[in-house]
Amino acid sequence: MKPSEIRALSDKELVEKLDDLKSELFNLRFQHAINQLDNPLRIREVKRDIARTLTVIRAKELEAKNEREAE
């Protein structure tokens, strides 16, 4: 998923997306452990998507904090 797509999501959607990605990562790791994983590079992609999502969530938190302090 591209960073611009992640930034376009609302706060609630970001949290839902993060939960989905974490459960997908769990399933991919499980498949990898029992040698049924078709595309091992998908684990790396999901980890990066999780990091991007967490980064956007944190950036929005800081932006909201800065707006409150400016008032």
Q: What is the pLDDT along the chain (71 residues), one digit of tens a residue?
A: 888 999 999 999 999 999 999 999 999 999 999 999 999 999 999 999 999 999 999 999 999 999 998 87
pLDDT in tens, 61-70: 999 999 998 8
Token pair, residue 25, equals 């990562």
| 68 vs 62: CA distance, rounded Å | 10
Which domains can be identified in the chain, with CATH numbers? Answer: 3-70 (1.10.287.310)
Its pTM stands at: 0.90
Helix (H) / strand (E) element for 40: namely none
- Check: CB of residue 46 under 8 Å from CB of residue 25: yes
* Chain mean position to CA 20: 8
Residue among 3, 6, 26, 30 nearest 17 (CA): 6
| 12 vs 68: CA distance, rounded Å | 20
